[in-house]
Amino acid sequence: METSQKPRPATQAFLGTAPAGPWDRRLGTAFVILSFLVLGAIAPFARLPMSPMPAFVPAYESALWICDLLTAVLLLGQFNRSQSPSILVLSCGYLLSSFIIVPHILAFPAVFAPKGLLGGTNQTVAWLYVFWHICFPLFVLAYSVTAKLEVRKGWRWSRPGLAICTAIVLVLALVAVFTKLSLHPDGLLPVISVDGHYSRMVTSGVSPAILCVIILTLGVLWRNSRGSVLDVWLMVVLSAWIGDVALSVVVSDTRFELG
């Protein structure tokens, strides 16, 4: 990475620098409000038991995998042109989110095998969820901090191709470590799931910690925002993640409940 004060041509528009217009702000605000309205409407009924539908998991997470991977590819394309370190950091967040979905689906009970294709323990799926949902907002937090420093110091990455290859390898290695930890038969990680019940995630403070990280990241992103299109929609994403975590592992505590 090198420091350069050479300005980019005005004709080049990037998601991280393109200013958000009134339409972006209104639409983003509408989605945030909608997310919290849905959260408020579902929360009182989150523990309503539903019919077990194991096929829902691969269908839902396959859609997530496609969306996250496409987003990562688009962001890496932006990084290749802009050489912006903050965009590379954010790309890594989306890469991790897409990569970790694969072991999560494979380990999920009754999807491809009664106890999951990867085997593991009762904690495997729960801990993969935790790593997934706490790491993504941490990458967004790192993006926000890096973006602020990037503007101040004029950082640019001189060899974007090498940086992209290195980032992919490092993210794959991180996902491999998380998967290995969650599959370990000797219980290296604390018990947070018992027979598909996640109440221990709340009592142990794990799921509240995830929520706190997301809220902290949202606050830092709001404070550091350059008013770009990317920042606006990342705030929308984090707002949706608050609802996701709150309904999945805070209010609800059992698989296949409404939450």
What's the average model confidence in pLDDT over 53-82? 90
Which tokens sit at 9?
């041509």
Q: What is the pLDDT of residue 9?
A: 41
Cα–Cα distance for residue pair 76/179, rounded to 1 Å:
25
Which tokens sit at 7?
């300005």
Q: What is the pLDDT of residue 3?
A: 45
Q: What is the pLDDT of residue 6?
A: 44
- Say if strands 2-3 and 155-156 run parallel, antiparallel, or are unpaired: antiparallel
Which tokens sit at 157?
């990455």
Greater confidence, 175 or 11?
175
Angle (CA) 210 197 93, round 5°? 30
Q: What is the pLDDT of residue 187?
A: 66
Q: For the chain, how many helices (H) and strands (E)?
A: 8, 2
Q: What is the pLDDT of residue 31?
A: 92
What's the first-to-final CA gap in the chain, in angstroms? 44
What's the average model confidence in pLDDT over 78-89? 91
Other C-beta atoms closer than 10 Å to the C-beta of 168 total 16
Per-residue pLDDT reduced to its tens digit, 186-217: 667 888 887 777 788 888 889 999 999 999 99
Q: What is the pLDDT of residue 110?
A: 78
| C-beta separation of 248 from 214 below 8 A | no
3-state secondary structure of 228: strand
Q: What is the residue type of 43?
A: A
What's the average model confidence in pLDDT over 30-52? 86
> In Å, what is the CA distance from 165 to each residue of 76, 91, 228?
10, 12, 27
What's the average model confidence in pLDDT over 230-242? 93
Predicted model pTM: 0.89
Rounded to the nearest 10 degrees, the angle between the axes of helix 56-82 and helix 85-107 is: 160
Please, is 4 exposed, middle or buried when counting C-beta atoms within 10 Å of its C-beta (0-12, 13-18, 19+)? exposed
Q: What is the residue type of 225?
A: S
Q: What is the pLDDT of residue 51?
A: 78
Q: What is the pLDDT of residue 13?
A: 64
| C-beta separation of 210 from 134 below 8 A | yes
Highest-confidence segment of 8-22, 50-64, 171-185 = 171-185
Q: Which secondary structure element, helix H or strand E, spans residue 233, and what is its range? A: helix 229-245
Q: What is the pLDDT of residue 27?
A: 92
Average pLDDT over the chain reads 86
HSE-CB of 56 using CA atoms within 13 angstroms: 9
Rounded to the nearest 10 degrees, the angle between the axes of helix 85-107 and helix 124-153 is: 170
Domain-wise residue ranges, the chain: 54-251
> In Å, what is the CA distance from 34 to each residue of 48, 219, 240?
22, 19, 9
Q: Which of 46, 40, 220, 190 is nearest to 130 (CA)?
A: 190
User: Three-class SS string for 63-82?
Assistant: HHHHHHHHHHHHHHHHHHHH
